[in-house]
Amino acid sequence: MLAKRIIPCLDIKDGRTVKGVNFVDLRDAGDPVELAEIYSREGADELVFLDISATEQKRKTLADLVYRVAEKVNIPFTVGGGISSVEDVDVLLHNGADKVSINSSAVKNPQLINDLVAKFGSQCIVVAIDAKQIDGEWIVHLVGGKVPTERKLFEWAKEVEERGAGEILFTSMDNDGTKDGFANEALARLSTELNIPIIASGGAGNKQHFSDTFIDGKADAALAASVFHFKEIGIQELKQELQGNGIPVRI
């Protein structure tokens, strides 16, 4: 079995790391470059940077942030937010990003996934999907969770895979920031129905939640923000507990 990955997520707004609950009520969590360096040193497997204001404000993710992060870390990192073209991705990868994450732009223009995969390869194209349950159905949302669509989670995830994306980052908006655990039932279905890695996001509150999402949710990686930013969980202690539970991780 492949090692499970632990991925701190840094939501970026106006150049600072922020964290909210259910995608709102944001509070400052520190300088993203400093946090990235700390996580790299502490044993994170990867990092994800999401400029959560980029799409909403119709501006591009700042390439200089990517460059500064690349100078400080020696682990793979993914960048997302406001990416809508081959040119956008080209700039970010040239500045040091290992992967890019697309969300709203992929739903609006699914062909973008094919175009990016053709140009850069599946391995560096992650499609992020934010969804919440409405009348018992998982509905995909855009623009930082503000705009519901007619897309349904599992159908869209399957199309994303068919178009060549290398990974899916699934965030449950219902669980985000609640610290009540990941949406493991939905994650398990995604992992069962698809053949590409699924990153779990939304709901981490304690070390047991990570074990649960790897075992019950069948996730390939688990992403979290506040529990790492505010030092509620240490990455090494988390990995040691996972290892003790029989879950393969890189120590």
Catalytic residues: 11, 130
3-class state of residue 78 by DSSP: strand
* Long-range contacts at 143-152 (CB < 8 A, ≥ 24 apart): 143/55, 143/56, 143/104, 144/23, 144/52, 144/53, 144/55, 144/56, 145/22, 145/23, 145/173, 145/176, 146/23, 146/56, 149/107, 151/107
For the beta carbon of residue 163, count every other beta carbon within 10 angstroms: 19
CA distance 15 to 35: 13
CA distance 180 to 95: 36
